[in-house]
Amino acid sequence: MTTAARTRAFIIAGLLPALILYLLFVVVPVFWSSYYGFFSWKGIGEMKFIGLDNYTEVLKDEIFWKSFVNNLYIVAYSVFGQVPIALLLAIVLARNSWYQRFLRASIFMPMVLSSVVIGLIWGYIYHPQIGILNFLLDSLGLSSWKLGWLSDPKVAMYSIGPPIIWANIGPYLILFIAALQNIPGEMDDAAQIDGATGLRKLFQITLPMIWGTIKVAIILCISGSLKAFDLIFIMTRGGPANSTELLATYMYNNTFNIFRYGYGSAVSTSIVIISLLLIAGSQFLMNRNKNVA
Amino acid sequence: MHTKPIPMSSSARGGSIVIRKMGRGATWCMLTFYALLTLYPLIWLFVSAFKDNQDFFSRPFGLPSSWHFDNFSRAWKVAGMDIALLNSAIVTSVSLVLTVLIGSLAAFILSRFHFRLKGAVMGLFLIGMLIPVHSTLVPLFIMMKEMSLLDTYAALVLPYIAFELPIAIFIISAYMTTFPKELEEAATIDGAGYWSIFCRIMLPLSMPAISTVAVLGFLRFWNDFAFPLVLINKPSLKTLPLSLSIFADGYGTDYSLTLAALTISVIPTIIIYLIFQEQIMKGMLAGSVKG
């Protein structure tokens, strides 16, 4: 064998395992689900071709759109909860003393827990009878504030916010700390000479310097919001009365609880399209802003 | 270097320094309070796991009136934590080893060789990071069913590797591109083939990147819930998160048992976190920024 042929053989042999696994279990399923979406199928028996019926039903279903709105709620929790809190914490935690590192580590901690564990713990915090939140309100003499945090359809979607923010602040904190530590020291000195301190320095120097990172964080919030399936599945299963339904739980319930595999596939395809649109849209908006500025 | 215009500002603003010191003190108090608030759910979990049910209801914030270590032995046997732990360990370690081997081999080729479709292959792997995992659950379920892989370890291991490959390739190839070209040239002159360059030089040198990938993979595989939920039904094959999830519907069950089981499942991740803290933080950042 010549050297060139040996090199080519090595390239092919080395890439093949990765490519086969990746194509078979990540890329192909996406196309398969759009194909299954054209059929009515209960998982066993015959598949019946029904054209676009599943897809039009998805678009007409109120619960699908409610789920979509709930996904946007999660985006909002991340953008208006995680980002400002993480930014604030990063500003005070940007140095490297052991106590700051300890605080950072504790704030990051929930990130390494399984969503099942997080969901169960918060289920106990919110539990109407034995929950520690209602117990706390009782002992503070605020019994009238007690709620069925996860069992009241009007409240449930709001109760989802704190666990999501609590669990996901970590990476944003680290992202912002890295950005803050990249601001050159001369900027600090220049600001001090010009007499800019405190809030003025924050708004006129620090925030503009890390604006790019803040934009990255917002894009992360949008793509991250589509991953919230596990937590909600454990805490509410999308209930009560679909009040916390997300696109992913909606898909799961339609497929595996009422066995509409064709319809579930159509929903899966919609999720892929929606998430690509969201990511492309946010990237476009952010880039346009950059060109203007 | 920080050069401070000290004399003027410090003497002129003596009062404001006091205020600033008080402000700093207040910030510290609030920070510590916030950190305690974040840690509290976990502390509550660990403490409550030692209580009996009566204690759990009546004094949710207090320490246990007597420490019940038997909760853990009951969770171990009754709640099937022993089997779940074993399943999680098998699935996680097999997926990890294969992800690292297949991923770093692909990363070696994508970072150290030049060929026509290189850009296309790299782009293909990057696109994968945009596909939401949950949207593949239904088709994967149908595929696994037709390949008769439902209720096997392979049903979890194969998609785990596939979904972890893009980030593994991204992290490891970024690291490998920094090596000097002379590395392979010297080895080739010594008569080493590509495989031995990969095994003897590239793998050992890339250990920092590989360990980041491994730690991230461990957390992802160990904690994953969606795939076993859909692909595993047999009780003897259930992983930790899936076995724990049965406690989610159980209103009015044995709380001390549940909390002990939760504690058992959390301890390995906490240990890994304490050891690999820096790597986890940096790796998750790299992972999320790309994804």
| CATH code for the domain in which residue B277 is found | 1.10.3720.10
Contact status, residue B264 vs residue B81, Cβ threshold 8 Å:
yes
Run of H or E residues at B194:
helix B194-197
Q: Which of A116, A138, A231, A253 is best to mutate for the B interface (most B CBs within 10 A)?
A: A116
**Within 13 Å and on the Cβ side, how many CA atoms surround A180?**
20
Q: Is residue B285 part of a domain?
A: yes
Residue of chain B minimizing CA distance to A228: B134
Query: For residues A34 and A55, what is the distance between their CA atoms, to the nearest angstrom?
Result: 10
Pick from B35, B194, B272: CB nearest A103 = B35
Q: Is residue B31 part of a domain?
A: no
Query: How many domains are there within chain B?
Result: 1
| Residues in contact with A48: Cβ distance below 8 Å, sequence separation at least 6, in sequence order | A39, A40, A41
| Residues in contact with A108: Cβ distance below 8 Å, sequence separation at least 6, in sequence order | A169, A170, A171, A173, A174, B277, B280, B281
pLDDT of residue A181: 83
Selecting from 3.40.190.150, 3.90.380.10, 3.30.300.30, 1.10.3720.10, what CATH number does the domain A52-292 have? 1.10.3720.10
**For all residues of chain B together, what is the average pLDDT?**
84
Query: For residues A15 and B150, what is the distance between their CA atoms, to the nearest angstrom?
Result: 27
pLDDT of residue B64: 78
Give the residue among B94, B91, B71 at the shortest CA–CA distance from B225: B91
B132 in A contact zone (CB under 8 Å): yes
Give residue-wise pLDDT tens across range B27-45: 888 888 888 888 888 888 8
pLDDT of residue A279: 81
Confidence of residue B250 (pLDDT cuts 50, 70, 90): low
Give the residue among B49, B48, B50, B72 at the shortest CA–CA distance from B61: B48
In chain A, the percentage of residues whose pLDDT exceeds 90 is: 24
Ranges of chain A with pLDDT below 70: 1, 196-197, 288-293
Q: Is residue B5 part of a domain?
A: no
Is a pLDDT exceeding 80 seen at residue B66?
no
For residue B235, give the DSSP letter: G
A109 in B contact zone (CB under 8 Å): yes
pLDDT of residue B244: 87
Which residues in chain B have Cβ-Cβ distances shorter than 8 Å to A122?
A: 41
Q: Is B122 exposed, middle or buried (0-12, 13-18, 19+ CB in 10 A)?
A: middle
Q: Is B102 exposed, middle or buried (0-12, 13-18, 19+ CB in 10 A)?
A: buried
Q: Is B250 exposed, middle or buried (0-12, 13-18, 19+ CB in 10 A)?
A: exposed
A272 in B contact zone (CB under 8 Å): yes
Is a pLDDT exceeding 50 seen at residue B286?
yes
Give the distance, in angstroms, between the CA of residue B102 and the centroid of all CA atoms in the same chain: 19
A8 in B contact zone (CB under 8 Å): yes
How many other C-beta atoms are found inside a 10 Å radius of the C-beta of residue A138? 12
Reported ipTM: the value is 0.86
pLDDT of residue B16: 66
Is a pLDDT exceeding 90 seen at residue B102?
yes
A105 in B contact zone (CB under 8 Å): yes
| Residues in contact with A238: Cβ distance below 8 Å, sequence separation at least 6, in sequence order | A67, A232, A244, A245, A246, A249, A250, A253
pLDDT of residue B8: 41
A279, A283, A284, A286: CA torsion to nearest 10: 140
Is a pLDDT exceeding 70 seen at residue B289?
no
Is a pLDDT exceeding 60 seen at residue B12?
no
Q: Is A289 exposed, middle or buried (0-12, 13-18, 19+ CB in 10 A)?
A: exposed
pLDDT of residue B5: 44
More confident residue, B99 or B215: B99
Q: Is A177 exposed, middle or buried (0-12, 13-18, 19+ CB in 10 A)?
A: buried
Give residue B90's domain range.
70-290
A181 in B contact zone (CB under 8 Å): no
Q: Is residue B21 part of a domain?
A: no
pLDDT of residue B2: 46
Contact status, residue A180 vs residue A91, Cβ threshold 8 Å:
yes
Is a pLDDT exceeding 90 seen at residue B80?
no
Rounded mean pLDDT, B170-174: 91
Q: Is residue B26 part of a domain?
A: no
Structural domain boundaries of chain A? 52-292
Give residue-wise pLDDT tens across range B182-209: 888 888 888 888 899 999 899 999 998 9
- Cα–Cα–Cα angle for B282, B285, B289, rounded to 5 degrees: 145
Query: For residues B2 and A278, what is the distance between their CA atoms, to the nearest angstrom?
Result: 44
- Number of Cβ pairs closer than 8 Å across A and B? 257
pLDDT of residue B107: 95
Q: Is residue B48 part of a domain?
A: no
Which residues in chain B have Cβ-Cβ distances shorter than 8 Å to A110?
A: 38, 41-42
Rounded mean pLDDT, B144-173: 93
pTM for the predicted model, two decimal places = 0.86
pLDDT of residue A199: 75
pLDDT of residue B127: 84
Give the distance, in angstroms, between the CA of residue B2 and the centroid of all CA atoms in the same chain: 39
B33 in A contact zone (CB under 8 Å): no
